[in-house]
A and B are shown apart, each in its own frame.
Chain A
Amino acid sequence: MALATTSLIRRGSELSNVGVQRQLLQQDAAVLSLPQFDEQLMHSGIGELRPLSPSILQINLGKMCNQACKHCHVDAGPDRTEIMSREIMQQCLDALDASTISTVDLTGGAPEMNPEFRWFVEQLSARGVMVMVRCNLTIIVANPKYHDLPQFYAEHGVHVVSSLPFYDATYTDRQRGGGVFHDSIRALKMLNDVGYGIENSGLLIDLVYNPVGALLPGPQASLEKEFKRNLSDKHNVVFNSLHCITNMPISRFLEFLVNSGNYERYMRTLVDAFNPAAAHGVMCRTTISVGYDGRLYDCDFNQMLEMPVASRVKHIAEFDEAQITSRMIATDRHCFGCTAGSGSSCGGQLA
Chain B
Amino acid sequence: MKTYYDPADLPKFGTISQLQPELAEKFFDWYGAVFAEGALTQREKSLIALAVAHAVQCPYCIDAYTTDSMQKGATEQMMMEAVHVSAAIRGGASLVHGVQMMNKVNEVSM
Contact = CB atoms under 8 A, between A and B. Distances in A.
Interface stretch (A50-58, A119-127, A188-196, A219-227): A219-227
Given A168-B75, A171-B75, A222 B41 contact: yes
A226 B37 CA distance: 14
User: Which of A171, A213, A216, A218 gathers most chain B CB within 10 Å?
Assistant: A218
Interface string B55-97: 0000000000001001111011000000000000000000000
A142 interface: no
User: Which of B11, B41, B67, B71 gathers most chain A CB within 10 Å?
Assistant: B71
Given A219-B42, A222-B43, A211 B71 contact: yes
B75 A219 contact: no
A170 B70 CA distance: 14
A150 interface: no
A213 B70 contact: yes
Interface in B37-62: 37, 41-43
Interface string A182-220: 000000000000000000000000000001010111110
Interface SS of chain A: helix, strand, loop or mixed?
loop
Contacts of A219: 37, 42, 72
Interface in A132-191: 166, 168, 170-171
A272 B76 CA distance: 26
Nearest to A212: B70
Contacts of A213: 70
Nearest to A214: B67
A218 B67 contact: no
Contacts of A211: 70-71
Contacts of B11: 272
Contacts of B75: 168, 170-171
Nearest to B69: A218
Contacts of A215: 67, 70-71
A219 B74 CA distance: 12
A168 B74 CA distance: 12
A272 B13 CA distance: 14
Nearest to B7: A265
Contacts of A218: 42-43, 71-73
Interface in A280-305: none
B23 to A, nearest CB: 24
A344 to B, nearest CB: 13
A166 B72 CA distance: 12
A211 B71 CA distance: 7
Contacts of A168: 75
Given A222-B42, A222-B43, A217 B71 contact: yes
B100 to A, nearest CB: 43
B70 A226 contact: no
Contacts of B71: 211, 215-218
A222 B36 CA distance: 12
Nearest to B76: A170
Contacts of B41: 222
B28 to A, nearest CB: 16
Contacts of B72: 218-219, 222-223
Interface in B1-39: 11, 37
Nearest to A171: B75
A170 B78 CA distance: 13
A226 B44 CA distance: 12
Interface in A54-73: none
Interface of B: 11, 37, 41-43, 67, 70-73, 75-76
8 contacts: A166-B73, A170-B75, A211-B71, A213-B70, A217-B71, A218-B72, A222-B37, A222-B42
Interface of A: 166, 168, 170-171, 211, 213, 215-219, 222-223, 226, 272
Given A168-B75, A218-B42, A226-B73, 12 more contacts: A166-B73, A170-B76, A171-B75, A211-B70, A218-B71, A218-B72, A219-B37, A219-B72, A222-B42, A222-B43, A223-B73, A226-B43
